[in-house]
Chains A and B, each alone.
Chain A
């Protein structure tokens, strides 16, 4: 049975050393080994996005990655989105806009939205929809989610030093926007 390996991951800004089986997904490691159950399992095939975490600035389905593959990386989960008693502006806007009903997709949607705003602080509605297209929500019809992300971007723009959590954002230049522009030019 001695087939577990030691993995070091930076999770929500904290260095974490953990023991996991090589076959365990990152999602399983987060939920079952570290008891960070905020990331949800909806499909285990990368289709629903409920398990989305942000790794080095990119949204990733944690069900599609092995825990051992996350070694040495910076992983941000929904548990690290708020700082202390202050909710992240996305969390606040989701509450104000009633953007969740059952709430099971919310952690993943929030993390995808965070990754979007970190690389594109002023997204269009189409860019928001593109960035969230990997997160299925069956309750809301997405309307109030898109409004909350739009409003969060506006609120962030009004600040001098946006509080973006602990994971450094990637400086990628709006890949989603470029692809959309092509699609719309059709």
Chain B
């Protein structure tokens, strides 16, 4: 599929060494915590030990008297921020709640909620000062799960919340139900066809209930921010973020100052996966800097990351799907409740829009709810919302395939969405490559090789994610020696500099080594949305290509000028400008670059794009096949083999595309098997370290096979779809289905940790023994 189409490219599809590679293997790359400025102070945050408590008073006087303490802030130092629903990149943010999350005011709403912060001459002094701050709390009963929070008699987290029914993701919604406080601020419903008739037509109906645990993005680099408030009122922030412009907009809203007064310099970023699309420390460091008059650096420790930064939602799901004997799905009814954490804004809408999106289903109803609980406010995490709801539905599909006695890949193929199939939310798909991912798995050596041995099983599942469009800017500078620099606003979180350099090199016909990609700050490049939503290679790649084309157009004018011709009499191809007349005039880009001064001055190509709303471009699908072996004595699951086939549209740099797929599967395996938060009865987090919040290690995983399916995206000049997220959607169900085929136990709860699986296996064995006994008796 791929090879024929990629022949038209010289550089795209190859695997050059990334331009920022040497800095990153030698320890020279500067991440957020590596920045230091003269006279810098260190800030630390005091966090609530209560999951739900009224803050009656905060006394900072003893802390203030500690030598070395230079500034202290509490909620009283922050301006009141009115609730505005701001679309910030792919996020919809309520600025009022963002402000309350950055620093608690009347109430602490989760264990770890910031209540005060100190800046001191060292982090040790700052930590000592935190212990001297006296907070008088009135503890309130915590509400820890969506199920509890939805009960009519549940304690209310935020008095002003009412349930609102939304028609689509960005709709503010209209009131639903009685006008009384609610922990369920959002409800979205997608409905089509006739459910009752659909289920009546089914030969088999499977109805199940699922629970998934909240999981953390697990980036290895904790959040950080270094803020410098100048005497001129200008604020500069250095931080690790997925979007410098996001940080600027959000910080301005929390501090109630103009965006133009803030410059955000994005550092190298040590992982994000969505978790670094919002802000935590930035406004706090800024206020501490304003009070002290000195630069203030704040770096979270791991416990703070786990207690207070966004995980993704745990969910409760009820799924009912019917199918005919031939495997055709006749109806599906899905109910989803997403834990948002302490403030509204879970990915409940995308969760509803993505589940079952891979399938053509005529009769469908999906309800999804946003539910506040006394946990940290969730943040985006790789295909936000889709993995949990897909887990539920893809497990039910496996049961149906078994009842229909149809191979699980074939079952999905018979129901697969194609171009023109309506998505759950209504609009039809453009050209997509879902069926191609199924076919790729079916043809893989992995799937064609039977899996033998006791306690071993194979599972398959699929998933969908929109992929982002949004805004990007790029400039392409032609230097006098023919080298090129390309500046974008997209932070490089996984090799996107390489992709951008390759696009520019391809367009200009120069060597990729001659293109230097640069990540600009908010003052040096036009607005660019987050590195997230699988949008960087896609949308910023579009901007970079157009900027290169703009440079070519300008260079064409210069070549024409040299030869005293009109620009339309000059043609550019493969790095060479040629006269269309029969005079043999030609000049290479490199030669022409040396003559820019004499032909009118420097050439800077520029482009800005709005690549459309999230979901409007680049839809991506993946199918995952996993083999597992279950230890019958402990319930521990070992992953024997894993293969992912994903429609990537076009792989710009296949190594980094494969890397995205492999990383997504690895995170999915952690979500499936180990990762969860343990809260005690009082709502305090007990596993706030990486020993007990157990992410997959090198020993937990096999090599991860990747199949890059290339069905070019018709909405992109290079066919790119974006690749970062969808790979995390299928693995949880694939593992669950594999466990069933290994030991005959259907798992309805994530993670499928050894203790949970062992309990279910023992129940199964006991039931089998009882059945035998009663049969014998």
Contact = CB atoms under 8 A, between A and B. Distances in A.
Interface of A: 21, 23, 31, 35-45, 47-48, 50, 77-79, 81-82, 87, 91, 94-98, 100-107, 110, 128-130, 132-147
Given A41-B33, A95-B18, A138-B219, A101 B689 contact: no
Q: Which of A45, A91, A105, A138 has the most CB of B within 10 A?
A: A138
B533 to A, nearest CB: 17
Contacts of B18: 95, 98
B704 A141 contact: yes
Contact of B271 (A128, A135, A139, A143): A139
B26 A78 contact: yes
Contacts of B15: 98
Q: Which of A48, A91, A110, A139 has the most CB of B within 10 A?
A: A139
B667 interface: yes
Given A40-B31, A140-B666, 5 more contacts: A42-B690, A44-B302, A95-B25, A129-B698, A141-B662
B298 interface: no
Given A42-B302, A101-B493, A138-B220, A37 B666 contact: no
B676 interface: no
A23 B122 CA distance: 12
Q: Which of B27, B219, B656, B701 has the most CB of A within 10 A?
A: B27
Given A45-B691, A143-B703, A100 B667 contact: no
Interface of B: 15, 17-18, 20-22, 24-31, 33-34, 36, 124, 217-222, 268-273, 299, 301-302, 493-495, 653, 655-656, 658-660, 662-667, 689-691, 695-699, 701, 703-704
B22 A106 contact: no
- Determine chain B's interface SS by DSSP, over half rule: loop
24 contacts: A23-B124, A40-B33, A40-B221, A42-B302, A43-B689, A48-B302, A79-B26, A81-B26, A82-B26, A96-B17, A101-B495, A102-B221, A102-B272, A103-B24, A103-B268, A132-B697, A136-B690, A139-B494, A139-B659, A141-B664, A141-B666, A141-B704, A142-B701, A144-B659
Given A42-B222, A47-B690, A104-B270, A145 B698 contact: yes
Given A98-B495, A139-B659, A104 B31 contact: yes
A139 B273 CA distance: 9
Contacts of A42: 220-222, 270, 302, 690
Nearest to B25: A91
Nearest to B496: A101
A48 B22 contact: no
B24 A141 contact: no
A45 B302 contact: yes
Given A45-B689, A136-B690, A143-B662, A107 B656 contact: no
Contacts of B655: 97-98, 144
A106 B25 contact: yes
Contacts of A38: 26-28
Contacts of A142: 666, 698, 701
A112 B30 CA distance: 21
B271 A98 contact: no
A148 to B, nearest CB: 10
Contact of A91 (B26, B660, B667): B26
Contacts of A102: 219-221, 268-272, 493-494
B222 A41 contact: yes
B388 to A, nearest CB: 19
B689 A47 contact: yes
Listed from nearest, the 3 A-B pairs whose CB atoms lie closest are: A38-B27, A104-B270, A141-B666
Q: Which of A38, A101, A145 has the most CB of B within 10 A?
A: A101
A37 to B, nearest CB: 4
A140 B124 CA distance: 34
Contacts of A45: 302, 689-691
Contacts of A95: 17-18, 21-22, 25
Nearest to B690: A47
Given A98-B15, A136-B697, A40 B220 contact: yes
A138 B220 CA distance: 7
Q: Which of A133, A143, A145 has the most CB of B within 10 A?
A: A143
A49 B370 CA distance: 37
Nearest to A111: B27
Contacts of A136: 218, 220, 690, 695, 697
B620 to A, nearest CB: 18
A140 B659 contact: yes
A141 B271 contact: no
Q: Which of A23, A31, A38, A141 has the most CB of B within 10 A?
A: A141
B302 A100 contact: no
B667 A135 contact: no
Contacts of A79: 26-28
Given A91-B26, A105-B220, A106-B25, A41 B299 contact: yes
Contacts of A107: 27
A103 B29 contact: yes
Given A43-B689, A97-B655, A133-B699, A140 B29 contact: no
Contact of B27 (A37, A101, A134): A37
Nearest to B667: A138
A150 B406 CA distance: 41
Nearest to B706: A143
A41 B240 CA distance: 14
Nearest to B42: A32
Contacts of A110: 25
A103 B269 CA distance: 8
A138 B698 contact: no
Given A37-B34, A94-B25, A141-B665, A146 B218 contact: no
